[in-house]
């Protein structure tokens, strides 16, 4: 943590995106998390992704619950909309906001405590409903704010800082998301921005429920020998299934790849996902296969990362519910409250 | 790319841009911190040790440090380093008891310094404290050389020169004033162990144009005229004055003329405004005093009537550049311009002159009339004779003269001890952690975002009344403090220990100027293209460290690091630390 605000001085040739913004323009307040916290790296990855995608900050809504992870939306996108909800209730607040205004990009930020413990019901139903959002879980396996007790995602057999062995089975949020109908499921590591930034970019451009489980070591309570969520452990056991490049529709440059090593996925908005094969033959369009692969590898002690599943033909909640296109706040009183005659007609229909 | 060896003093020294750019390598951030702490005497002594004339240089230095200042690369203007030096000199206490005392017992070696300017006095100071008996010969009646005779009093009062030359004299240096040396042969005949020549570049270049001789009474060579003004021989000038030339001497001439009765004073320069040799701030001062600068006019003839100067005829030119970027001034073909005037001051260059050095004593000169010297040792072809300052390598500036004085003193010391001159004492360095607590450093790491403070000056009416009244008032304490906060403390270095790093990216994410990258190694040029922020300034080094667990390397682009210490504050393992870098540039007497 740092007390001083970041100085605004910048080199004259600092990179600017199509909107004329620098990366610094996508930052928020100075982080009050512990020095070395993985969450800060995820914040930086969000900043980078929004910068790269030329996102207008005022078109983003970031929502979170309670916990170290849920503090982070304060540390990025300082010019975006934000809502810090009750513990574990971010998914329902986000769902409500998305229903009211579909023109914003919804970014849900949560942690393993917020999403896998107190908020697991909310998590499950937001995935089921197909809310168009990017849902990031900053997963460190411990309750950092209350001094490092195991969370529900801590692996069985992992050791706490005090030497206690965890005897409970872990919840695999990525596996749950796959099962519950998320149409973009990824896992990554806060210490690997080369992998993480494109995954966030792909998720932001995905037109349905996108879930990213980001393993994010807690330097203070869960970065020791015996932990399965330490920087060293994750680096040693990380097996990526693919590497992603996100190509925007307007981009002319097509990278060249050796034949057979690339899978192209065109998303609803025209953005193209280039999935480069790494090692094993992995099919990210096969939901059942993805679930099996996750389970198999987990049993071997591996941490599978990359874009695990993507279905670009999926439909989101608005399509399911046939909602109005315009945001509610732009509809006007007459439209929203059509008067007693309309009510009578409606009641007559139901009699 | 090879890992950086930060135990080589040059690497971190180069990061301290101002100190590296200063010919005498004055530890700028260190003295600025002392000023901020209110310890002006210590700030003064840090300067005195490096540059001998802090009060003088704090007013008239050419300040190569300021264009180099890192803040200039991230902010509109650099730190006002030069005027902060003046603050140290203005507000210090009596520092005489802090000056070194020369040894009671002399080493028996006698050194003659010819010329009483900054180079000679620097040699005298450095050698006197080592036990040498130094005698300075000067043709003037008071020491300081060209600092006293050329720089107008409204920029540099005599009292400052008296004080700082006095400190050198105080060390037991013998000053022989009003002593014109007419023959080097005679000097060498006396048994001096070594002779140092610091006689400057005393001859002003003349403009040999039609009418020069006929109107000679009102055409003056700038540096001679300035000397006459300095010593009170000239106290007035005509109402309409033309100054020819675009260097700092021209600026001194025009501003002096304004104070001696010139009402319509104008500067006329061959080149464009931007290419003028004068420092930007000196041009600014001249413009501030209502002196117009006319560019792209080449003097063609002096017009006169019955032996009386009437004006100057100019040809209009424009700049043309060839393929190699070389400039030539080409006549535009437009009609000539005639400007009327009462007096002309010619300030178009300065030259060396050594009429007192016989050409048959074994001291060789090159075809430009400069002594043949070893560029490092400043030794001439006569082993006993050394040169420094403008006399050595042509006209430069005071701070260069001081730096050459230090080098010559080292050479003379080695020479007198019978040691090889090329085995020069190397600089030594020290690195000390500045960590005081988790978020506490022993330097102020909060980066000021304030603009450069203007130095208060007298009103023009008041300033123009008296040529001896100092124009600049200098910073007061409050302004000085605000300006010190703008210093980025570049000497507090970011030091990285790869063994402690867990590669959490915290430093990469927090760095306000995005200068840290973790990536795979490569050749420097290729590596620069892969950094988080573009690295276009190849003059600024990359700091590369290897030995990380993932096999990647840490690369830090030193170009725009703010030395805010945020990387070190964010580092969970102490792999980054802020350490104060101190480089001790050797002076005469240091062991190699």
Residues of A in contact with B502 (CB under 8 A): 36, 219, 223, 231-232
Residues B234 and B153: their CA atoms lie apart, in Å, by 14
Query: What is the residue-wise DSSP string for B356-403?
Result: TS-TTSS--B-TTSPBP--TTT-B-SSTTEEE-THHHHSS--HHHHHH
Query: Residue B50 pLDDT more than 70?
Result: yes
- Tell me the two tokens of residue A209: 């429920």
For position A260, what pLDDT does the model report? 66
Residues of B in contact with A44 (CB under 8 A): 505, 508-509
Q: Does B212 touch chain A (CB under 8 A)?
A: no
Of B399, B416, B433, which residue constitutes the final position of a domain? B416
- Considering chain B, what is the average pLDDT of its residues? 95
- Contact criterion met (CB < 8 Å) for B569 and A13: no
Query: Do A246 and A275 meet the contact criterion of CB atoms below 8 Å apart?
Result: no
Q: Are residues B215 and B344 in the same domain?
A: yes
- Asked whether residue B589 is domain-assigned, the answer is no
Q: Are residues B154 and B257 in the same domain?
A: no
Query: Residue B172 pLDDT more than 70?
Result: yes
Q: Are residues B173 and B92 in the same domain?
A: no
Task: Say how many C-beta atoms besides its own lie within 10 A of residue B234's C-beta.
Answer: 16
For position A258, what pLDDT does the model report? 67
Query: Do A49 and A80 meet the contact criterion of CB atoms below 8 Å apart?
Result: no
- Asked whether residue B215 is domain-assigned, the answer is yes
Q: Are residues B212 and B332 in the same domain?
A: yes
Runs of H (alpha helix) within A6-89: 38-52, 68-71
- Asked whether residue B275 is domain-assigned, the answer is yes
pLDDT digits (tens, 9 = 90+) for A23-33: 999 999 999 99
pLDDT digits (tens, 9 = 90+) for B430-439: 999 999 988 8
- Asked whether residue B330 is domain-assigned, the answer is yes
The alpha-carbon gap from B21 to the nearest alpha carbon of chain A, in Å, equals: 20
Q: Are residues B151 and B239 in the same domain?
A: no
Give the single-character DSSP code of B490: T
Q: Are residues B67 and B157 in the same domain?
A: no
Question: For the domain that residue B38 is a member of, what is the CATH number?
Answer: 1.10.1060.10
- Tell me the two tokens of residue B554: 């840490």
Domain span including residue B78: 9-98+459-484
- Tell me the two tokens of residue A127: 């995935």
Runs of H (alpha helix) within B113-203: 118-128, 146-149, 158-169, 184-189
- Contact criterion met (CB < 8 Å) for B504 and A14: no
Of B416, B437, B472, which residue constitutes the final position of a domain? B416
CA distances from A58 to A50, A54, A61, A78 (A): 12, 12, 8, 9
Radius of gyration of chain B (CA): 26
- Contact criterion met (CB < 8 Å) for B533 and A3: no
**Count of the separate structural domains present in chain B:** 3
Q: Are residues B173 and B227 in the same domain?
A: no
Residues of B in contact with A11 (CB under 8 A): 73-74, 513, 533, 559-560
Residues B416 and B88: their CA atoms lie apart, in Å, by 36
| Segment 466-505 of chain B within 8 Å of chain A by CB | 502-505
Residues of B in contact with A12 (CB under 8 A): 73-74
Question: For the domain that residue B405 is a member of, what is the CATH number?
Answer: 3.50.50.60
Q: Are residues B252 and B177 in the same domain?
A: no
Give the single-character DSSP code of B317: E
- Asked whether residue B286 is domain-assigned, the answer is yes
Q: Are residues B33 and B59 in the same domain?
A: yes
| Complete domains list, chain A, with CATH | 23-321 (3.40.50.970)
Q: Does A8 touch chain B (CB under 8 A)?
A: yes
Helix, coil or strand: residue B131: coil
CA distances from A230 to A132, A140, A189 (A): 32, 8, 11
Q: Are residues B124 and B250 in the same domain?
A: no
Q: Are residues B291 and B213 in the same domain?
A: yes
Q: Are residues B314 and B401 in the same domain?
A: no
Pick from B70, B437, B509, B513 the residue to mutate for testing the A interface (most A CBs within 10 Å): B509
Closest to B382 in 3D by CA, of B190, B111, B195, B132? B195
- Asked whether residue B140 is domain-assigned, the answer is yes
Q: Does A191 touch chain B (CB under 8 A)?
A: yes
Each residue's pLDDT tens digit in chain A (351 positions)?
567 889 999 888 889 999 999 999 999 999 999 999 999 999 999 999 999 999 999 999 999 999 999 999 999 999 999 999 999 999 999 999 999 999 999 999 999 999 999 999 999 999 999 999 999 999 999 999 999 999 999 999 999 999 999 999 999 999 999 999 999 999 999 999 999 999 999 999 999 999 999 999 999 999 999 999 999 999 999 999 999 988 887 765 555 666 667 788 888 888 888 888 777 788 999 999 999 999 999 999 999 999 999 998 878 999 999 999 999 999 988 888 899 999 999 999 999
Of B296, B316, B350, which residue constitutes the final position of a domain? B350
- Asked whether residue B73 is domain-assigned, the answer is yes
For position B439, what pLDDT does the model report? 84
Q: Does A24 touch chain B (CB under 8 A)?
A: yes
- Asked whether residue B210 is domain-assigned, the answer is yes
Return all residues near A259 (Cβ < 8 A) that are at least 6 apart.
Answer: none
């Amino acid at each position: 943590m740092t007390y001083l605000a970041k100085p605004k001085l910048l080199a004259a040739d600092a990179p600017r995106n199509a909107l004329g913004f620098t990366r610094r323009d996508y930052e928020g307040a100075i982080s009050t998390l512990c020095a070395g916290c993985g969450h800060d790296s995820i914040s930086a990855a969000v900043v980078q992704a929004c910068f790269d995608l030329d996102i207008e900050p005022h078109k983003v809504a970031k929502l979170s619950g309670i916990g170290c992870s849920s503090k982070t939306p304060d540390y990025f996108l300082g010019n975006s909309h934000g809502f810090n909800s009750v513990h574990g209730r971010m998914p329902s607040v986000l769902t409500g906001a998305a229903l009211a205004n579909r023109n914003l990009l919804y970014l849900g930020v949560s942690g393993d405590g917020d999403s896998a413990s107190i908020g697991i019901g909310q998590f499950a139903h937001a995935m089921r409903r197909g809310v168009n959002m990017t849902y990031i879980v900053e997963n460190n396996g411990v309750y950092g704010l209350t001094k490092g007790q195991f969370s529900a995602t801590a692996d069985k057999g992992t050791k706490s800082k005090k030497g206690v062995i965890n005897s409970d089975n872990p919840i695999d949020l990525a596996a749950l998301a796959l099962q519950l109908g998320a149409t973009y499921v990824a896992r990554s590591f806060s210490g690997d921005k080369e992998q993480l930034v494109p995954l966030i970019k792909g998720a932001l451009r995905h037109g349905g429920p996108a879930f990213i489980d980001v393993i994010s070591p807690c330097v203070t309570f869960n970065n020791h020998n015996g932990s399965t969520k330490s920087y060293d452990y994750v680096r040693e056991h990380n097996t990526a299934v693919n590497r992603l490049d996100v190509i925007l529709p307007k981009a002319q440059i097509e990278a060249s790849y050796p034949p057979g090593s690339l899978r192209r996925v065109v998303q609803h908005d025209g953005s193209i996902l280039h999935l480069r094969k790494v090692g094993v033959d992995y099919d990210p369009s096969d939901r059942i296969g993805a679930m099996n692969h996750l389970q198999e590898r987990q049993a071997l002690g591996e941490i599978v990362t990359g874009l695990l599943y993507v279905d670009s033909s999926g439909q989101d909640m608005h399509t399911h519910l046939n909602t109005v296109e315009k945001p509610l706040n732009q509809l006007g009183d007459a439209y929203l409250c059509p008067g007693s005659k309309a009510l009578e007609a409606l009641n007559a229909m139901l009699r | 790319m090879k890992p950086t060896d930060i135990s080589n003093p040059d690497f971190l020294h180069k990061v301290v841009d101002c100190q590296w750019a200063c010919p005498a390598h004055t530890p700028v951030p260190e003295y600025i911190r002392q000023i901020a702490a209110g310890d002006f005497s210590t700030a003064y002594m840090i300067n005195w040790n490096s540059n001998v004339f802090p009060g003088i240089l704090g007013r008239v230095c050419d300040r190569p440090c300021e264009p180099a200042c890192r803040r200039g690369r991230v902010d509109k203007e650099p730190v006002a380093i030069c005027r902060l030096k003046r603050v140290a000199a203005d507000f210090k206490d009596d520092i005489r008891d802090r000056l070194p005392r020369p040894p009671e017992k002399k080493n028996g070696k006698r050194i003659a310094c010819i010329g009483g300017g900054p180079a000679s006095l620097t040699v005298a100071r450095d050698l006197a404290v080592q036990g040498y008996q130094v005698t300075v010969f000067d043709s003037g009646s008071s020491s300081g050389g060209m600092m006293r005779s050329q720089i107008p009093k409204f920029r540099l009062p005599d009292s400052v020169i008296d004080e700082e030359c006095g400190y050198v004299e105080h060390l037991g240096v013998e000053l022989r004033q009003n002593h014109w040396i007419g023959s080097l042969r005679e000097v060498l005949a006396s048994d001096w162990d070594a002779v140092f020549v610091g006689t400057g570049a005393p001859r002003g270049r003349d403009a040999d144009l039609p009418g020069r001789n006929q109107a000679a009474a009102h055409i003056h060579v700038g540096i001679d005229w300035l000397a006459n003004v300095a010593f009170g021989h000239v106290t007035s000038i005509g109402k309409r004055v033309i100054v020819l030339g675009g260097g700092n001497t021209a600026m001194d001439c025009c501003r002096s003329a304004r104070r001696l009765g010139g009402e319509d004073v104008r500067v006329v320069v061959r080149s464009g405004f931007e290419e003028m040799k004068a420092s930007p701030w000196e041009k600014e001062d001249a413009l501030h005093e209502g002196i117009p600068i006319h560019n792209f006019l080449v003097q063609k003839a002096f017009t006169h009537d019955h032996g009386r100067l009437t004006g100057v005829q100019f040809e209009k030119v424009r700049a043309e550049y060839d393929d190699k970027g070389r400039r030539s001034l080409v006549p535009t073909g437009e009609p000539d311009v005639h400007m009327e005037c009462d007096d002309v001051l010619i300030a178009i260059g300065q030259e060396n002159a050594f009429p007192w050095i016989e050409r048959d004593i074994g001291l060789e000169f090159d075809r430009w009339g400069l002594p043949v010297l070893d560029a490092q040792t400043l030794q001439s072809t006569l082993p006993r004779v050394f040169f420094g300052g403008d006399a050595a390598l042509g006209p430069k500036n005071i701070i260069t003269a001081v730096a050459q004085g230090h080098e010559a003193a080292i050479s003379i010391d080695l020479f007198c001890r019978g040691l090889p001159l090329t085995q020069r004492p190397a600089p030594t360095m020290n690195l000390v952690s500045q960590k005081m607590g988790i978020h506490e450093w022993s330097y102020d790491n909060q980066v000021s975002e304030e603009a450069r403070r203007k130095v208060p000056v007298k009103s023009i009416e008041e300033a123009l009344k008296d040529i001896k009244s100092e124009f600049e008032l200098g910073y007061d304490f409050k302004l000085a403090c605000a300006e010190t906060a703008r210093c980025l403390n570049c000497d507090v270095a970011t030091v990285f220990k790869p063994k402690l790093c867990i590669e959490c990216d915290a430093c990469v994410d927090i760095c306000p100027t995005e200068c840290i990258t973790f990536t795979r190694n490569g050749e420097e040029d290729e590596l620069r293209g892969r950094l988080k922020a573009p690295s276009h300034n190849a003059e600024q080094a990359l700091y590369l460290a290897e030995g990380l667990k993932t096999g990647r390397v840490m690369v830090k682009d030193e170009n725009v690091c703010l030395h805010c210490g945020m990387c070190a504050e964010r580092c969970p393992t102490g792999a980054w630390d802020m350490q104060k870098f101190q480089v001790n540039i050797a002076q005469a007497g240091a062991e190699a």
